Every structure is written in C-alpha cells, then in structure tokens.
Amino acid sequence: MASPKQMKANRDNAVKSSGPISTEGKAIVARNAITHGLFSSDIVLPDEDATDFCTFRGQLITHLGPVGIAEELFADRVTSCAWRLRRLIRFENFHLSGGYLGIIQSPGEIIGSHFADETLHRLSRYEAAIERSLYRALHELQRLQMMRLGQPVPPPVVLEVGISTLRDDAQ
C-alpha cells in the first residue's frame, strides 16, 4: 500500500497531467480499454472489414429467413453473437501463436504459461457466455417461426444440473 506521502505525490502529479491534446491523441486513448472487443457496443471493430460483416450478415439472415420485426430482432442477435464468436477464435489463435501470451519457443511451450492459462480460461468463459446468448436467440427465433407457421410450440426446456464429487457420493 502507498504511504500518505506517496499518495500526495501521486495526486500532485495527476493535477499536472493534461492528457492528450490533439484530436488524434484523444482518438487513440479513447480506445485504450479495448483489449479484445468481445463486449464492444460496436459490432464491427475498426480493424475488421465492414464488407465482410455485411456479407456474413446477409448470408446468415438469408439462411435464418426471419419474417417480421420480432424474428429480425432475434436473427440480428444471432448474427451479432456469431460474429463475436468468430472474433474470439481469431483473438485466441493470435495469442496461441505467440502474440500477446508470450513467445512459443518450441511446440507446446509458451513463455509466461501461467498468464496464458489465465487468459485462455477467461476467453473460455467469454466464449461460453456468447454461445449461451447465441443459442437463446436462435431458439427464440425458431419458436417464433413455429408459431408463425401454426406449428405446436413446445415450452422451453428447463434443465436442473447438479454437481457431486466422489467425496459427496461416498458419504
């Protein structure tokens, strides 16, 4: 923990900082917090090709065949989640090939593997969350389409998941 003297010095130095002044500098620091863009409010990030997204979206929307605004809403959600999953895979591949996670010295050996493990674990959690969102939207779209076509719509399936360990089972 910082001493009171260090905290005062930090506050004094912070007052002296004016941050970026130029428009270019402000634009750069505005993107400082973006690390992977998985939860960005922008579907297409600056380093991605908007034409690729439009092509991808068009093909997926054609395949899903939404009719009406409600179905289009869920089809857009499916598209957004699918695009983010593709981004996650690119991000993961970049890091595993020696990008942000470290340098690969030999096959299977990554410098800073503890950091790599933490990052990959976090990416795995993000992937699971995005997939859940994608499947929820896809299932709701399918339910709406079944209702529109006059087909019987089964209620959503609820699963109860229990976790036990060998210790729990033995007692």
Question: Looking at residue 57, what is its pLDDT?
Answer: 96
Q: Specify the residue for token string 């690969």.
A: 104
User: Is 164 or 126 the better-scoring residue by pLDDT?
Assistant: 126
Neighbour tally for 166: CB within 10 Å: 7
End-to-end Cα distance, the chain: 45
Spatial CA neighbour of 133 closest among 76, 50, 87: 76
Give residue-wise pLDDT tens across range 33-85. Answer: 455 566 677 788 887 889 999 999 999 999 999 999 999 999 999 999 999 99
- Alpha-carbon distance 135 to 141, whole Å? 10
Query: In the chain, at which residue ranges do the beta strands (DSSP E only) sit?
Result: 104-106, 109-110
DSSP element (H, E) containing 164: none
Instruction: Tell me if the pTM is above 0.75.
Output: no
Task: Map out the domains of the chain as residue ranges.
Answer: 45-149
